[in-house]
Amino acid sequence: MDTLARSLADTGLPHPLLVDAARAAIAEGDPEDVEERARRHVHAAARAMLQPVVNTTGVLLHTNLGRAPLAVAADAAFTNLELDLSSGRRGSRHAHAAALLARLCDAEDAIVVNNGASAVLLVLAALATGRGAAVSRGELVEIGGGFRVPEVMEQSGAKLVEVGTTNRTRRADFASAVENPANDTALVLKVHQSNYRIVGFTEHVAVTEMASLDVPVVADIGSGLIDAACPWLNDGPPAWLAGEPAARQTLADGAALVTFSGDKLFGGPQAGIIAGRADLVNQCARHPLARALRPGSLVLSALQQVALAYLRRDGQAIEFWRMASLATADLESRAQVVVSESGVGEVAQMASVPGGGTLPGTEIDSCGVVRDGDHTAALRAGTPPVIARVSDGRTWLDLRTVVPDDDQHVIAALKALG
């Protein structure tokens, strides 16, 4: 076994993993071609590890591919994570990225946790444990992985107070819930319907209407758009963003707190952001769950990097926004080069989507390469794997979601198809 494992050293995997592959190959029984079988096990182990892929699906925030693309590179170093450099005393990890996020949202304060669901969980636990939290029945959503708002609320210790109906909820419904002493309502929660739409005979309550109630309004805007004006884009907000709630405007409309994800429209790492009134943020920061849900220095450093790009109004430094704002003509020129150099497929107009549970039904004009047949398995088998999609019996490779430097990988993958 040791001899077989050592013969696999050229694969680059650590010796314990090579031993596992050798053991699995030997256990299969046939001594013939045992090294070939062992190499297949090594290859399978390597493919199961986290690695870069080329995203040609056209889904900008592909949950299976890590949502917002983000470049993170840092030398090994200590940081002033919880050190006040001015006084030399213990500081707060909320004084760095969170302070910049508060500035971006025009909020009094902010705190960062490890994802969007954690942000809602912490707010409810800190502000409404044992008390009522009023939510429209039309906003009791299910997010990815089967997690549902009522279940998150149950875990927080808050009592769900359902108001209105699935398709129509009015301010009076919330007022009635708040005024009913039996509910002991601590807050009203507005949940953005980010991954579905209800159309037709509908009515919802705007934050401006809810703000006149006698309890704080917590708005889970989900997707993480910072400012509806998109000052980081030279041409202002794209048409496909119309109607998407933004943190800055939601707070200006009277919400006491907003919560949102860091790895969606914000374009950063996986994180959950809570921003708004300083007293409420402080209550969240002092709750025991805050320590369990806090991110480490790598996430906070990445958030800081993205926040600084927003403050510089440099949308091109945020990969999601760079990709989302590419001109279709530029994508068409790249597609022509890919087809010419690979000798495979044809240039085609197509539609990208935001993805990641944001802006359902929204399409963004795009361009890429299409080839007859389903070649997705062969493309995934390459190095790096190229992730494509199939529709109408054809394989589509959308270049909007491909970093330009990776066009050569697309070309090589297409050539390999023959």
CATH number at residue 304: 3.40.640.10
Assigned domain for 376 exists: yes
Say whether both 253 and 380 belong to one domain.
Answer: no
Query: What confidence tens digit (pLDDT) does each residue in 254-302 have?
Result: 999 999 999 999 999 999 999 999 999 999 999 999 999 999 999 999 9
Residues 330 and 402 reside in one and the same domain: yes
Residue 195 has pLDDT above 60, yes or no: no
- Residue 147 pLDDT: 65
Instruction: Tell whether 11 is covered by a domain.
Output: yes
Mean pLDDT over 190-212 rounds to 80
Residues 154 and 194 in one domain: yes
346 and 407 within one domain = yes
- Check residue 322 and give its pLDDT: 96
pLDDT tens sequence across 326-371: 999 999 999 999 999 999 999 999 999 998 878 878 899 999 999 9
> Is 82 inside a domain boundary?
no
Residue 311 has pLDDT above 80, yes or no: yes
Asked whether residue 132 is assigned to any structural domain, the reply reads: yes
**How much is the pLDDT for 410?**
98
Q: Which of 174-178, 192-196, 382-386 has the lowest mean pLDDT?
A: 192-196
Q: Cβ(400)–Cβ(366) under 8 Å?
A: yes
Residue 89's pLDDT is 96
| Domain hosting residue 395, numbered range | 54-69+326-417
The per-residue pLDDT for 194 is: 58
Q: Is residue 224 a contact partner of residue 260, using CB atoms and an 8 Å limit?
A: yes
Q: Per-residue DSSP letters for 122-142?
A: HHHHHHHTTSEEEEEGGG--B
Q: Which residue in the block uniquely carries the two structure tokens 């007293």?
A: 279
Do 201 and 128 fall into the same domain? yes
Query: In this structure, are 290 and 341 located in the same domain?
Result: no
Tell me, yes or no, whether 413 and 348 share the same domain: yes
Q: Tokens 């969240």 sit at which residue?
A: 284
Residue 321 lies in a domain: no
Task: Decide if pLDDT at 146 tops 70.
Answer: no
Give mean pLDDT, residues 107-118.
95
364-403 burial by CB neighbour count: b if 16+ within 10 A, else e? bebbbbbbeeebbebbeebeebbbbbeeeebbbbbbbbbb
Which residue, 285, 314, 343, sits at the end of a domain?
314
CA distances for 46 relative to 9, 17, 43, 51, angstroms: 13, 10, 5, 9
Element (H, E) at 156: helix 149-156
Return d(Cα 327, Cα 336) in angstroms, integer: 15
Task: Give me the number of domains the chain comprises.
Answer: 3
Within this chain, do residues 301 and 183 fall inside the same structural domain, yes or no?
yes
In this predicted model, which residue has the larger pLDDT, 6 or 112?
Answer: 112
Boundary of a domain, candidates 294, 314, 334: 314
Answer with the one of 277, 292, 314 that is the final residue of a domain: 314
Residues 371 and 394 in one domain: yes
Task: Render pLDDT for 53-77 as a digit per residue (tens, 0 to 9).
Answer: 999 999 999 999 999 998 877 788 9
- pLDDT above 90 coverage of the chain, percent: 80
395 neighbors 375 (Cβ within 8 angstroms): yes
Predicted TM-score (pTM) of this structure: 0.92
Q: What pLDDT does residue 300 have?
A: 96
Residue 15 lies in a domain: yes
pLDDT band at 192 (very low <50, low <70, confident <90, very high): confident
Q: What is the pLDDT of residues 370-415, one digit of tens each?
A: 999 999 999 999 999 999 999 999 999 999 999 999 999 999 999 9
Tell me what pLDDT residue 203 has.
82
Percentage of residues in the chain having pLDDT higher than 70: 97
* Summary mean pLDDT of the chain: 92
Q: Is residue 36 part of a domain?
A: yes
pLDDT value, residue 196: 57
CA 118/CA 271 separation, integer angstroms: 9
Q: Which two tokens stand for residue 252?
A: 């200006």
Residue 30 pLDDT exceeds 80: no
Same domain for 236 and 279: yes
| Sheet strands (E) in 65-166 | 109-113, 132-136, 159-163
303 shares its domain with 387: no
| One domain, residues 301 and 333 | no
- Residue whose structure tokens are 């006491």: 256
Per-residue confidence at 167, pLDDT binned at 50, 70, 90? confident
In a domain, 346, yes or no: yes
